[in-house]
């Protein structure tokens, strides 16, 4: 593990530099483009159809190729759902919502719960107590059994983290109703969950249980395996504001790179596989930029690290320390 001595940047509020002002002007110009959005959706639907077709083949090698492709496609639908939820992919709100629901069938993330939670996340990034994406359970509340389970699964690549996080954060209606009260919110959140259930029930009936399992099971496991490190790389183990000694107020978008991490991959992976979603600190600075425009800007300097380096350090740590602690507790900078 890499041990570092920290200077706390969180207590400082640097003025926006001329360079940052130039970045803000560029970001302000990077809005939706209908043609790029249309091409992106046609491409995504095409590779989804191909992955499904391959997954339904009888020969094991075509099936395996299809499952590997479908798992990547599922991750990509999550990236797109993220944009639809921001309303940043299409100019039309209706199109964003329609394709957001479609994306939820493949990513298995209910659209309206995701949308509400994620908007609150952007408002309260930097404050553990108010950010609804932060685990409710605190480090001090972990039992020895939970610590052992988290450490074992993280060490041996057993994909429980994205799955449990998704259930707790986006499917738990009792918690969601407390966070986002009101009949209209309740209806939208409930219907989003029912929509996914109905879509998969329909496929189960149409295909039958054998073909349904052939189509989804391995792809789903691979999807979760890919999602775990990607999810944990975005905000985990970063120092946040201390509610006991600091005034509580939302962090400016331009400053949210201090509380978000950008993972650097080879450019071809970022463009064609990840749709630049790995530039998470950049996204927090400029959340209106659609994925197909994000590659025109550079990552911020703060919390930027290569994917292999992040994985090396993160995998050298016990999972419970990675997830429930931060650099100020462990001295490990990621």
Give pLDDT tens digits for 96-145. Answer: 999 999 999 999 999 999 999 999 999 999 999 999 999 888 889 999 99
253 backbone dihedrals φ, ψ, rounded to 5°: -55, -45
Q: How many CB atoms lie within 10 A of CB 163?
A: 16
- Helix %, strand %, coil % for the chain, to 5? 65, 0, 30
Share of the chain above pLDDT 70, in %: 95
pLDDT at 70: 98
Render the burial of 168-191: b for 16+ CB within 10 Å, e for the rest: ebbbeeebbeeebeeeebeebbbe
| 3-state SS string for 35-61 | HHHHHHHHHHHHHHHHHHHHHCCCCHH
pLDDT of residue 14: 54
Structure-token pair, residue 179:
């966070």
Cα–Cα distance, 74 to 182 (Å, whole number): 31
d(CA 160, CA 221): 10
Q: What is the pLDDT of residue 135?
A: 83
Burial of 69 (0-12, 13-18, 19+ CB in 10 A): buried
| CA distances (Å), origin 308, targets 230, 263, 275, 281, 315 | 12, 9, 19, 18, 10
Q: What's the half-sphere exposure (Cβ side, CA atoms, 13 Å) at 16? A: 12
d(CA 8, CA 151): 28
Q: State percent of the chain over pLDDT 90.
A: 87
Helix (H, G, I), strand (E, B) or coil at 14: coil
Judge whether residue 3 has pLDDT over 50. no
Confidence tier at 75 by pLDDT (50, 70, 90):
very high
Distance in Å from the first CA to the final CA of the chain: 10
pTM score, whole prediction:
0.92
Cβ-based neighbours of 22, under 8 Å, separated by 6 or more = none
Provide the pLDDT confidence category of residue 16 given band limits of 50, 70 and 90: low
Residue holding tokens 């300097």? 301
Query: At residue 155, does pLDDT exceed 80?
Result: yes
Please tell me the distance from the alpha carbon of residue 15 to that of residue 59, in angstroms, as a whole number: 61
Residue 12, pLDDT above cutoff 80: no
Task: Kindly state the helix (H) or strand (E) to which residue 262 belongs, with its residue range.
Answer: strand 262-264
- Can you give the pLDDT at residue 205? 98
CA atoms within 13 A on the CB side of 35: 0
On the 0-12 / 13-18 / 19+ scale of CB atoms within 10 A, 244 is: exposed
Question: Would you state the torsion angle of the CA atoms of residues 209, 211, 212, 213, taken in this order, to the nearest 10 degrees?
Answer: 90
Average pLDDT, the chain: 93
Residue 106: which of 74, 80, 82, 70 has the closest Cα?
74
- pLDDT for 13 beyond 80: no
């Amino acid at each position: 593990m890499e041990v570092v001595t920290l200077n706390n940047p969180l207590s400082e509020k640097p003025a926006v530099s001329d360079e940052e002002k130039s970045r803000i002007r560029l970001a302000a110009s990077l809005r939706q483009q209908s043609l790029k959005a249309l091409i992106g959706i046609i491409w995504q639907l095409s590779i989804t159809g191909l992955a499904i077709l391959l997954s339904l083949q009888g020969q094991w090698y075509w099936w395996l190729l299809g499952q590997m492709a479908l798992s990547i496609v599922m991750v990509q639908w999550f990236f797109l759902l993220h944009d639809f939820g921001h309303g940043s992919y299409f100019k039309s709100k209706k199109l964003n919502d329609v394709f957001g629901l479609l994306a939820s069938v493949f990513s298995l993330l209910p659209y309206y719960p995701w949308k509400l939670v994620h908007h609150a996340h952007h408002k309260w990034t930097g404050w553990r107590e108010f950010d609804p994406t932060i685990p409710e359970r605190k480090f001090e509340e972990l039992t020895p059994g939970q610590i052992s389970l988290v450490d074992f699964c993280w060490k041996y690549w057993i994909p429980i983290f994205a799955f449990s996080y998704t259930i707790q954060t986006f499917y738990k209606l009792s918690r969601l109703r407390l966070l986002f009260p009101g009949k209209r919110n309740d209806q939208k959140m409930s219907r989003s969950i029912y929509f996914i259930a109905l879509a998969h029930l329909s496929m189960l009936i149409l295909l039958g249980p054998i073909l349904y399992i052939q189509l989804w099971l391995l792809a789903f496991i691979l999807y979760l395996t890919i999602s775990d490190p990607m999810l944990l790389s975005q905000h985990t183990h970063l120092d946040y504001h201390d509610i006991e000694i600091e005034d509580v107020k939302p962090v400016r978008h331009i400053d949210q790179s201090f509380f978000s991490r950008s993972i650097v991959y080879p450019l071809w992976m970022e463009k064609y596989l990840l749709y630049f979603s790995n530039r998470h600190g950049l996204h927090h600075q400029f959340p209106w930029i659609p994925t197909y425009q994000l590659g025109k800007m550079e990552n911020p300097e703060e919390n930027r690290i290569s994917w292999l380096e992040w994985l090396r350090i993160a995998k050298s740590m016990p999972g419970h320390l990675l997830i429930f602690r931060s650099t100020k507790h462990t001295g490990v900078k990621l």
